[in-house]
Structure 1
Amino acid sequence: MTDFKAYRIKVLGKVQGVFFRKHTQEKATVLGLVGTVENLKDGSVLINAEGEETALSNLLNWCYEGSPASVVSDVKHEEIKSVGYSSFSIKR
């Protein structure tokens, strides 16, 4: 049995205007995760991701690096209740 979890991840730094959301969607899809990614008004990026714990851990580790042009200063995460997403999408 796999360990299914859901994480809310907030990524801070230079993460808007650097294709961070697009790269997050691509990484999450490769990892088999579902959820959303969106820019917040404070300049950070919010990721809600659901899937196997190992895949979530891989996404979380990737967030410290981010997209090629991003400069990540901090990553915060918490476990949340699953929403039941069917895919991984970018919220505008």
Structure 2
Amino acid sequence: MQVSARHVRIVGKVQGVFYRGWTVQTARALGLAGWVRNRLDGDVEAIVQGKEADIARFLELAWTGPPAARVDDVSDKVIEVSDLRGFEQRPTL
């Protein structure tokens, strides 16, 4: 299995609306590894790692997120694959 990894940044009304919790649930359902956290600038960032098709589906879903979110932008860049297991929510940075 070819594994890929992305650094993802989500911009909009994405804090205080369960976006991180939604991300954990969605990533786990897709079989992705990584983490998600709020940023002090109001954005949400995540590292997602797994099969390319599953990452593509995650990125597609990230444009909607949970019902209370308003997503203005989702950007991603390819990063080096690392030894990630599971998907977790991390503290704000």
Normalising by the smaller structure, the TM-score range is: over 0.9
Structure-2 residue corresponding to 1:57: 56
TM-score (norm 1): 0.96
RMSD between aligned residues = 0.7
Unaligned runs of 5+ in 1: none
**Runs of 4+ in structure 1 displaced over 2 angstroms?**
none
- Quick one: percent identity of the two aligned structures? 34
- Structure 1 residue 38 and structure 2 residue 13: aligned? no
TM-score (norm 2): 0.95
Unaligned runs of 5+ in 2: none
Task: Look up the SS of the partner of 2:60 in the other structure.
Answer: helix
Tell me the CA shift for residue 3 of structure 1: 2.4
Q: Would you say how many aligned residue pairs link Structure 1 and Structure 2?
A: 91
Q: Show CA shifts across 1:37-76 (max 9, x none).
A: 0000110000101000000000000110011110000011
